[in-house]
Amino acid sequence: MTAALVSKENNEAKFTITFTGEEFDAATQKVYLAQRGKIIVDGFRKGKAPRSIIEKRYGEGVFFQDAIDDMINEAYPKALEELDIDPVGYPNVDFGEEELGKGKGFTITVTVPVAPVVVPKDYKGVEAERKIRKITDADIDRELEAEQNKNARLVVAERAAQNGDTVILDYAGFVGEEQFEGGTAENQSLKLGSGQFIPGFEDQLVGVSAGEKKDVCVTFPETYHAENLAGKDAVFHCTVHEVKTEELPELNDDFAKDYSEYETLDEFKDSIRKRLEDSAKSAAEYGAKNAVIDKVYEANPFDVPQVMIDDEAEAMLKEMEQNMAYQGLTMDMYTKVLNKTREDIKNDMKADAEKRVKTRLLVTSIADAENIEASDEELEKEFNDMAAMYGMTTEDLKKQLAGQEKYVKQDIRNRKAIDFIYENAVLTDVEDVPAEAPAEEASEEKNAEETSEN
């Protein structure tokens, strides 16, 4: 077998593989030996018919196609390695017009899509903003309030239910005169305003007192997961047993001792501030890195084979399906809500898929240009971290990823390349004011700063 490169341009590699007559004869004989046990010829025991008899009966080329398939399957990866070709899609094989026969060699021409060769530019000294979120006393108070709410206890309220209260109730759901399956419960705990039940249900229990009965009338959404209930009017006969309200623990040193590792409330607040500041710093760095990479991406336009975009979109779709599965959802549910097909959703992802593919290739090209490598120590740490994440031993993970080490190394190289681009960027720090912050709060903070400066 001899491989020869014809061309490598426009994201496509073309090469030939030439086989000798001796190689073709050997492959044909190998197929005959493998298949003769399945062939029945009158006058011979099963598997004992000579090759010449089989060929006389079924034609000289009876074993040719399987022999050619075997030859190509064996030669193709060898040719890729020899010619240093890394395909990104399936090959197209052209046999030309050569006549096949015993003792005759032949040549095939293979065309396969390949990733573009990217020569990166303008990736040093990129100017970008690093938006840093300033942590305020209001942020600390919100965290403390959340901690308070998390540790609240429910106490019986001697009054009618209000939004935010928890009611203990029995209910039975009916569509018309028929009670439907799954619509009945006893001593169910329901926090009003939580959105646990279908729209309108919880609102109608506001104002109900313990011991009171209430008929709650609702309409199931058209997209409700149970098709027999979707869009139907229903009534739930409810009996409220108790109304409970949240009693919040007092914010003091005892609170800190009971719900944190600190002895005083001030120490607890300091720990919250540090955690929020560390988180804000990480978020600022993450956002700035993305901004820098986006600018490098815009400065380096190039084309990629469509198959790479299609494959990436498919991978993104499967990732979405996995994430939905963790939440108890399916792609069928999602497509029904959006009134789209799976292929529609995949097509919607292709713009993002294209950017992901190009960004990855661009970052890899920068790693190549800067001779960035992954050391053995970094590779070992990566394996250890991955094993810990998946709850496996490092050795088991290595066995599972046998032959894939180069991809793990490439991920490390790409992360280091992104760090390199970021470290060589020209960053301007600006204050990041959250969009959801009330205008008057932001104004008050600004006035306070100006006052302290004066």
Residues 269-315 pLDDT 10s: 999 999 999 999 999 999 999 999 999 999 999 999 999 999 999 99
Name which of 342, 418, 338, 407 is nearest 379 in CA terms: 407
Both 432 and 303 in a single domain? yes
Mean pLDDT throughout 367-377?
A: 96
92-94, strands of its sheet edge to edge: 2-9, 12-19, 106-113, 92-94
| Same domain membership, residue 238 and residue 340 | no
CATH number of the domain at 230, please.
Answer: 3.10.50.40
Q: Which pLDDT score, from 0 to 100, does residue 435 have?
A: 65
pLDDT of residue 436: 58
Could you tell me if 102 and 212 lie in one domain? no
Residue 55 lies in a domain: yes
CATH number at residue 294: 1.10.3120.10
Is 61 found in the same domain as 198? Answer: no
- Asked whether residue 231 is assigned to any structural domain, the reply reads yes
Question: Is 452's pLDDT higher than 70?
Answer: no
What's the pTM value of the predicted model, to 2 decimals? 0.72
Copy the structure tokens of residue 144.
């403390």
b/e per residue, 381-394, with b = 16+ CB within 10 A?
ebbeebbeeeeeee
Residue 142 falls inside a structural domain: no
Question: At how many degrees (to 10) do helices 137-150 and 265-299 cross?
Answer: 110
In 10 A of CB 199, how many CB atoms? 11
pLDDT of res. 223: 83
Q: What is the pLDDT of residues 27-62, one digit of tens each?
A: 999 999 998 888 878 778 777 888 888 888 888 889
* Token pair in block for residue 62: 């009876």
CA gap 220, 198 in Å, rounded: 7
Specify whether 241 is located in the same domain as 312.
Answer: no
Residue 347 is assigned to a structural domain of this protein: yes
Residue 261 CB partners (closer than 8 Å, separation 6+): none
pLDDT band at 228 (very low <50, low <70, confident <90, very high): confident
Percentage of residues in the chain having pLDDT higher than 70: 96
Whether the per-residue pLDDT at 340 is higher than 90: the answer is: yes
Output the pLDDT for position 74: 96
The torsion angles phi and psi of 268, rounded to 5 degrees, stand at -65, -45
Q: Which residues contact 224 (CB under 8 A, 6 or more apart)?
A: 198, 230, 231
List the structure tokens of 100.
């096949």
Asked whether residue 418 falls in the same domain as residue 275, the answer is yes
| pLDDT at residue 238 is higher than 90 | yes
pLDDT at res. 47: 74
Dihedral, CA atoms, 299, 302, 308, 309, nearest 10 degrees? 60
pLDDT digits (tens, 9 = 90+) for 133-157: 999 999 999 999 999 999 999 999 9
Query: End of a domain among 92, 113, 134?
Result: 113
137 in a domain, yes or no? no
Instruction: Provide the β-strand partners of residue 156.
Output: 244
In this structure, is residue 130 part of a structural domain?
A: no
Q: pLDDT above 90 covers what percent of the chain?
A: 80
The per-residue pLDDT of the chain, averaged, comes to 91
Helix/strand/coil (H/E/C) assignment for every residue in 215-278? EEEEECCCCCCCCCCCCCEEEEEEEEEEEEEEECCCCCHHHHHHHCCCCCHHHHHHHHHHHHHH
Query: Which of 83, 98, 113 is the endpoint of a domain?
Result: 113
Q: How many CB atoms lie within 10 A of CB 208?
A: 21
pLDDT surpassing 90 at residue 433: no
Q: Do both 303 and 434 map to the same domain? A: yes
What integer pLDDT is reported at residue 440 of this predicted model?
44
User: In terms of residue numbers, what domain contains 170?
Assistant: 153-247
Mean pLDDT value of segment 385-409: 92
Distance, CA of 146 to CA of 137 (rounded, Å): 14
Question: What separation in angstroms does the CA of 274 have from each of 19, 251, 271, 343?
Answer: 69, 19, 5, 46
Asked if the structure places residue 124 within a domain, the reply is: no
Cα–Cα distance, 182 to 229 (Å, whole number):
11
Which of these three, 247, 271, 292, is where a domain ends?
247
- Judge if 170 and 63 occupy the same domain: no
Q: CATH number of the domain at 32, please.
A: 3.30.70.1050
Q: Are 413 and 374 in contact (CB under 8 A)?
A: yes
Task: Give domain status of residue 387, yes or no.
Answer: yes
Residue 241 and residue 339 in one domain: no
Pair (93, 13) in one structural domain: yes
Domain count within the chain? 3
Q: Are residues 109 and 187 in the same domain?
A: no
Model confidence band, residue 378 (pLDDT cutoffs 50, 70, 90): very high
pLDDT in tens, 81-118: 999 999 999 999 999 888 888 989 999 999 999 999 99
| Residue 344, amino acid | D
Looking at residues 149-176, what average pLDDT do you find?
94
Domain shared by 188 and 92, yes or no: no
